[in-house]
């Protein structure tokens, strides 16, 4: 082909409107010669791309995908998601492809059609026909579409996907029906079934803290707030973040240590939280069921000692071995503020975070000699 399209091969969106540290504007380029494709690629590979989804730190560009330029007559949207509401896969179809599906859902929700699939029975001919009907395809294009939909569904199930999104699914001017862009997510719990697939994960595209958390067996998501959170259980973690917001603060992360964390994992969790310069206070909220409070307490003490934490540490422990945990903390010289009531603990975390932030702005060192 005399016309090519080159673009950064990355795990985030907004590439077309992004910019590189090299000065190049846009992560997707139309090229009219091999030389032009090489020139644009040199401005991408080895440089950092900044988009709305990468944040201020950007992400490195390690490779570029070069493909034939094609001309679309129509662009559609097709996706398969794991939908809790239907207890299995659900196909999402729209004639309005090539744009943000979120915008379509907001401005023209009737243009989006959902077709649930029974995961035990598999996709049926009637359901495939329903997709073709929504997209109003006929003739040879209809046959091509039906073949593609069946293959995409089988791919989705085979590799334990949670999302397979084609945007756009296009009918070309030459009559072909092609998937022009794809995003596919996989269930992390199925890693043991697909080691070859998961070995291809490009960790250079991930936040360093996410990589460290994964290696330590922790569930971590970095946020933009100033209060670090260490909690056991996803539900309790979300509730903790909600209460922090209720008191006017902002959580710096979601971190679930799970039900079987060791003191070493707790120490690693503190390393990850405290490595974020935005964190001004840390709130620990543990309900000891499977997780023992004394294990958490020992991890807290080890982390505070080894990391020389100089920010407020608010700890709320309830449940298994809580008396032993409190005794451990009481016998230590670590500055910890224990609070049994979660609402009070969240309120205190917000207040202390605000004090630290203001002190740092004024270049004043604050010593939190809290004791037990």
Q: Which of 153, 165, 220, 268 is catalytic?
A: 165
**Rounded CA gap, 290 and 281, in Å?**
26
**Rounded CA gap, 133 and 136, in Å?**
5
**133 is a catalytic site residue:** no
DSSP class of residue 127 equals H
**Rounded CA gap, 164 and 187, in Å?**
12
**Rounded CA gap, 188 and 263, in Å?**
24
| Burial per residue of 223-259, b for 16 or more beta-carbon CB atoms within 10 angstroms, e otherwise | bebbbbbbbbbeebbeebbebbeebebebbbbbbbee
Pair 37, 25: CB distance under 8 Å: no
Pair 197, 159: CB distance under 8 Å: yes
Cβ within 8 Å of residue 202, ≥6 positions away: 11, 62
**165 is a catalytic site residue:** yes
141 Rama class: left (phi>0) / alpha (psi -120 to 50) / beta: alpha
Q: Which of 32, 75, 77, 125 is catalytic?
A: 77
List the one residue out of 71, 48, 37, 306 whose CA is nearest residue 173: 71
Active site residues: 77, 165
């Amino acid at each position: 082909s005399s016309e090519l399209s080159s673009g950064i091969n990355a795990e985030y969106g907004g590439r077309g409107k992004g910019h590189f540290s090299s000065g190049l504007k846009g992560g997707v380029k139309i090229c009219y010669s091999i030389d032009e494709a090489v020139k644009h690629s040199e401005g991408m590979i080895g440089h950092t791309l900044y988009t709305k989804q990468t944040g201020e730190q950007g992400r490195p560009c390690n490779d570029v995908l070069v493909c034939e330029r094609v001309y679309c007559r129509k662009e559609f949207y097709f996706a398969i998601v794991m939908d809790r509401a239907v207890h299995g896969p659900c196909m999402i179809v729209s004639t309005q492809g090539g744009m943000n599906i979120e915008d379509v859902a907001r401005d023209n929700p009737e243009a989006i059609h959902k077709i649930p699939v029974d995961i035990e029975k598999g996709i049926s001919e009637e359901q495939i026909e329903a997709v073709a009907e929504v997209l109003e395809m006929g003739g040879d294009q209809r046959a091509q579409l039906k073949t593609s939909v069946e293959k995409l569904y089988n791919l989705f199930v085979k590799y334990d996907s949670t999302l397979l999104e084609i945007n756009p699914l296009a009918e070309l001017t030459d009559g072909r029906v092609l998937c022009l862009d794809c995003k596919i997510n996989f269930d992390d719990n199925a890693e043991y079934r697909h080691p070859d697939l998961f070995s291809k994960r490009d960790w250079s595209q991930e936040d360093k803290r996410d990589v460290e958390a994964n290696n330590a067996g922790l569930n971590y998501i970095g946020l933009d707030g100033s209060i670090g959170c260490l909690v056991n259980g996803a539900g309790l973690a979300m509730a903790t973040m909600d209460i922090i917001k209720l008191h006017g603060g902002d959580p710096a992360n979601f971190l679930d240590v799970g039900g079987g964390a060791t003191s070493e994992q707790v120490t690693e969790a503190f390393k990850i939280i405290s490595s974020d310069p935005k964190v001004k206070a840390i709130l620990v909220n543990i309900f000891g069921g499977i997780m023992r409070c004394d294990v958490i307490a020992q991890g807290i003490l080890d982390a505070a000692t080894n990391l020389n934490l100089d920010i407020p540490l608010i700890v709320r422990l309830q449940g298994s071995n809580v008396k032993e945990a409190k005794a451990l903390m009481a016998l230590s010289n670590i500055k910890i503020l224990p609070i049994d009531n979660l609402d009070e603990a969240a309120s205190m975390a917000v207040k202390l975070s605000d004090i630290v932030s203001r002190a740092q702005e004024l270049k004043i060192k604050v010593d939190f000699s809290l004791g037990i």
